[in-house]
């Protein structure tokens, strides 16, 4: 329908939609690569060779995403076992060589390109054995496991990382990727200890908190006393710049492993959305994705529209781009090699990758024309402008 002048005039009298997306972009997944072992051999890929076994970003991929697609957010994965080698233990002592590579990527996104970056320790609330992620490694804070890193060590790690990025308002702190299969009390204790340690440094950067059960949006209010909806709003951030980090896949078991999209995100997110509203909380969906089927296209449009229409949602990153995917796929293909969201990605048969079949026709179209390009990331919002 052509928008008539009469309707346009009328529209100015209608209340403006309050829902706003401030941040949109992709997850950069490759920094956590190279540590997996089919035989679960501990230490595989550690420390790993930067640029050979893993890398954080490709500058040209970031350029395309920011300059061409006008995205302003990248979530950058790294492994705790590389930042804090096992010989040091989890804590405030970093591998400085590794940190320098990571900081170079974060500075490229935030300083050179002027976008925002989420730091993403991709560790499932575990530390010491990433060889069979997401299940291997000791659960952080498990006092029954003498080899486990403690809650205090996790807090010391975050205090140090926060101190190093406190002067960069374009850096957001993603506390942990997808805690799972552990008591929600311990998830809560670890998260609270990290928040307290971050704020003790004076850092005011936005923090985003995951939940238990893989941060699944559809499951947020489920699980009885273990439900995230019983815990996560109790986290205390003294400066109230804490948002919620939700993941939501569209396949039958919400794993992102399958090609077929059968889980409609709109009804599935209703519970977590009303919980967010009830507690006055804002959220990001930092992992979602789908293949190039008709159903996935429809549901991806559905989840992107849903975030745009509900003011509890202030940002998103799609899963996933990254320099090391090659023809492999980050999600949603039943192990077929359809490539990734990395610009220029190709499928193994030389056909178009998910960048061409999902990012370009579907996701990139939902990047709002105006996003936040300056000032601190804050749950109260910021100034929206077009990128020039």
Ligand X SMILES: *[C@@H]1O[C@H](CO)[C@@H](O)[C@H](O)[C@H]1NC(C)=O
Write out the catalytic residue numbers: 178, 287
The counts of H helices and E strands in the chain are 10, 12
Radius of gyration of the chain (CA): 20
Phi and psi at residue 119, in whole multiples of 5°? Answer: -80, 125
Closer residue to ligand X in complex, CB, 155/182: 182
Residue 34 in the binding site for ligand X (CB under 6 A): no
* C-alpha–C-alpha distance, residues 348 and 295, integer Å: 23
Residue selected from 31, 45, 47, 217 as contacting ligand X according to rule CB under 6 A: 47
Closer residue to ligand X in complex, CB, 307/354: 354
- Give min distance, CB of 150 to ligand X, in A: 12
Three-state secondary-structure class, residue 155 = helix
Closer residue to ligand X in complex, CB, 347/363: 347
Residue selected from 65, 139, 207, 307 as contacting ligand X according to rule CB under 6 A: 139
Residue 357 in the binding site for ligand X (CB under 6 A): yes
Residue 4 in the binding site for ligand X (CB under 6 A): no
Residue selected from 116, 338, 359, 373 as contacting ligand X according to rule CB under 6 A: 338
Residue 128 in the binding site for ligand X (CB under 6 A): no
**Cβ contact 271:220 at 8 Å:** yes
Closer residue to ligand X in complex, CB, 267/351: 351
Residue 352 in the binding site for ligand X (CB under 6 A): yes
Q: Where are the beta strands (DSSP E) in the chain?
A: 23-28, 73-78, 116-121, 126-127, 138-139, 171-174, 207-209, 242-247, 283-287, 313-321, 371-372, 384-385
Instruction: Tally the residues of the chain.
Output: 388
Residue 182 in the binding site for ligand X (CB under 6 A): yes
Q: Name the DSSP class of 217.
A: G
Is the dihedral angle over the CA atoms 383, 234, 162, 289 positive or is it negative? negative
Kindly give the pairing relationship between strand 126-127 and strand 207-209: unpaired
Helix axes 151-165, 96-107, angle to 10 degrees: 50
Choices 61-69, 214-222, 279-287, 351-359 (CB under 6 A): range interacting with ligand X? 351-359
* C-alpha–C-alpha distance, residues 231 and 209, integer Å: 11
Residue 145 in the binding site for ligand X (CB under 6 A): yes
Choices 142-150, 169-177, 302-310, 371-379 (CB under 6 A): range interacting with ligand X? 142-150
Choices 65-73, 111-119, 137-145, 235-243 (CB under 6 A): range interacting with ligand X? 137-145
Residue 335 in the binding site for ligand X (CB under 6 A): no
Total site size for ligand X, rule CB under 6 A: 19
> Contact residues for ligand X (CB under 6 A)?
47, 50, 85, 87, 95, 97-98, 139, 142, 144-145, 182, 292-293, 338, 347, 351-352, 357
């Amino acid at each position: 329908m052509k928008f008539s002048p009469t309707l346009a005039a009328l529209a100015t009298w209608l209340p403006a939609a309050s829902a706003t997306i401030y941040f949109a972009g992709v997850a950069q997944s490759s920094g956590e690569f190279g540590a997996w072992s089919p035989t679960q051999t501990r230490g595989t890929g550690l420390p790993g060779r930067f640029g050979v076994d893993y890398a954080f970003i490709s500058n040209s991929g970031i350029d395309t995403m920011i300059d061409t697609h006008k995205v302003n957010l990248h979530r950058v994965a790294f492994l705790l076992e590389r930042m804090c080698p096992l010989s040091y233990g989890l804590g405030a002592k970093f591998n400085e060589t590794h940190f320098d590579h990571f900081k170079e990527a974060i500075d490229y996104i935030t300083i050179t390109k002027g976008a925002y970056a989420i730091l993403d320790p991709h560790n499932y609330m575990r530390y010491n054995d990433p060889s069979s992620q997401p299940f291997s490694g000791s659960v952080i804070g498990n006092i029954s496991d003498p080899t486990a890193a403690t809650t205090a060590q996790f807090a010391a790690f975050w205090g140090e990382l926060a101190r190093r990025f406190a002067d960069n308002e374009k850096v957001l702190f993603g506390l942990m990727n997808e805690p799972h299969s552990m008591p929600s009390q311990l998830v809560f204790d670890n998260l609270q200890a990290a928040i307290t340690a971050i704020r003790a440094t004076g850092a005011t950067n936005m923090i985003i908190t995951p939940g238990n059960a893989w941060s699944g949006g559809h499951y947020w209010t489920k699980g009885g006393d273990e439900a995230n909806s019983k815990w996560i709003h109790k986290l205390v951030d003294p400066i109230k710049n804490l948002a919620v980090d939700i993941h939501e896949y569209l396949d039958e078991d919400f794993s992102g492993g399958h090609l077929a999209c059968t889980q409609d995100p709109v009804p599935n997110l209703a519970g977590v959305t009303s919980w967010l509203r009830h507690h006055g909380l804002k959220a990001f969906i930092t992992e979602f994705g789908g293949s190039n089927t008709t159903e996935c296209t429809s549901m991806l449009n559905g989840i992107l529209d849903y975030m745009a229409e509900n003011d509890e949602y202030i940002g998103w990153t799609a899963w996933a781009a990254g320099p090391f995917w090659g023809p492999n796929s980050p999600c949603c293909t039943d192990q077929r090699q359809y490539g990734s969201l990395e610009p220029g990605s190709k499928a193994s048969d030389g056909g178009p990758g998910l960048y061409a079949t999902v990012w370009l026709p579907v996701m990139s179209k939902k990047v709002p024309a105006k996003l936040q390009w300056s000032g601190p990331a804050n749950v109260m919002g910021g100034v929206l402008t077009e990128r020039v």
